[in-house]
Amino acid sequence: MAHAHSDHNEKLLGRAFALIAGFMVVEVIGGLLTNSLTLLADAGHMFLDATALGLSWYSMRLSRREGDERLSYGYHRFQVLAALINGLTLAILVGWILLEAIERLRDPQQMIALPAMAIASVGFVVNLVAFRWLHGAHENANVRSAALHVLGDLLGSVVAITAAVVVYFTGNTAADPILALVVAAILGRGAWRVIRDATHILLEGVPIGIDLAEIREVLASKVPGVIEVHHLHAWALTAEKPLVTLHVNVEPHRDLQETVTRLKSVLLTDFDIDHSTIQVEHGPCPDDTDVASPTPPCLNPAQPASPAFAMQPSIPFRDCVLHGSMNLPFVRKLCLSLCSFPLLFFWGVTQPKWLC
């Protein structure tokens, strides 16, 4: 089912990319012929969005590659990187819209309203079709970020149409930058969400919708013989591919293979987690057990061993330095002595002859 969704999302991105990129050329030609800065700006917006859609489409194709010795999990994270790049370009686009709106408020630009209105209306239909395609696959973070780009195009078309109508009937050119500020506010919120979600995944945060405490409780209650669940960690390759690792303390008489099978079944059915690494334990966890014995004193001639450690094997002086079991005042004296030798040598070489 997940593979079918991935193929469907990939096709949607490819179709949207072809549609947006094709009409971008039309808007560039129309903007040049009508001397409409609004259409040219919207064409630049569509160019950024076409680039984002192409990157998203390519990232999904790349993520279908199988893992190898260098990338054991495959190329799924490339989708997250693409979503982060899309979010960053959206943020840059928001900044550009703000600057352009302020500039146009200061210096209004004239435009040929009627042809610009016609081209912007066709662009609205094109963007509406592309957004409808992508909006149906909103559960994918990469597709969602691409849909936000198309939403920006859709709103850009609305701005262009509204500006053309206002200019055509009233001659007031201030409507274009004012509406552009509204678009910037909407896109800014979307850009923040995309950047936040992608960064959360890259930082290996707990996937949205997964409650670690709930996983512990459900596994302990539904799987017979489970005493405790600990060292539970959850992260995600993509928003749709969560992973967990956990340690489970089970009763001594329980069959380990059967316990692991049931644990994985509960994780899949209750939490939709199909990739998990489980360590089953009888008794104390090896990672939590402190098996270290008291550290005997080092072979320091200036500090004889105490009677309590007289019968224990000694640790070489070098290992004591590396493992931090040496007496700290002695270490400070040793470091001070070693550092003083180069200083004394340098002073002896460079001192004036009359001091000798």
DSSP-derived secondary structure for 220-239 = HHHSTTEEEEEEEEEEESST
The pLDDT score that the predictor gives to residue 204 is 92
Alpha-carbon distances, residue 185 vs 94, 135, 174, 181, 198 (angstroms): 8, 20, 18, 6, 20
Instruction: Look at residues 183, 202, 221 and tell me which one is the last residue of a structural domain.
Output: 202
Q: Are 80 and 67 in contact (CB under 8 A)?
A: no
The pLDDT score that the predictor gives to residue 142 is 65
Instruction: Look at residues 169, 202, 235 and tell me which one is the last residue of a structural domain.
Output: 202
Q: Exposed (0-12), middle (13-18) or buried (19+): which is 119, by Cβ within 10 Å?
A: buried
**Residue 314 within any structural domain of the chain:** yes
Residues 218 and 160 in one domain: no
Cβ neighbours of 332 (radius 10 Å): 10
pTM: 0.65
Contacts of 312 (CB under 8 A, 6+ apart): 296
Residues 147 and 8 in one domain: yes
Residues 196 and 341 in one domain: no
**Residue 351 within any structural domain of the chain:** yes
Residues 221 and 312 in one domain: no
Contacts of 72 (CB under 8 A, 6+ apart): none
**Residue 299 within any structural domain of the chain:** no
**Residue 207 within any structural domain of the chain:** no
The pLDDT score that the predictor gives to residue 282 is 86
The pLDDT score that the predictor gives to residue 203 is 94
The pLDDT score that the predictor gives to residue 354 is 42
Number of folded domains in the chain?
3
**Residue 171 within any structural domain of the chain:** yes
Walking along the chain (356 residues) 10 residues at a time, the average pLDDT comes out as 59 86 88 76 77 77 75 81 85 86 82 84 90 70 74 80 84 77 79 89 92 94 92 89 93 90 94 92 80 45 46 43 44 52 48 45
Contacts of 162 (CB under 8 A, 6+ apart): 175, 179
Q: Are 23 and 126 in contact (CB under 8 A)?
A: yes
The pLDDT score that the predictor gives to residue 6 is 59
**What is the SS3 string spanning 269-299?**
HHHCCCCEEEEEECCCCCCCCCCCCCCCCEC
Number of H helices, E strands in the chain: 10, 3
Residue 155, CB-side half-sphere exposure with 13 Å CA sphere: 21
| Owning domain of residue 251 | 212-281
**Residue 297 within any structural domain of the chain:** no
Taking the CA atoms of residue 81, residue 84, residue 89 and residue 94 in that order, the dihedral angle to the nearest 10 degrees is 180
The pLDDT score that the predictor gives to residue 140 is 64
Pairing mode, if any, of strands 226-236 and 276-281? Answer: unpaired
The pLDDT score that the predictor gives to residue 339 is 54
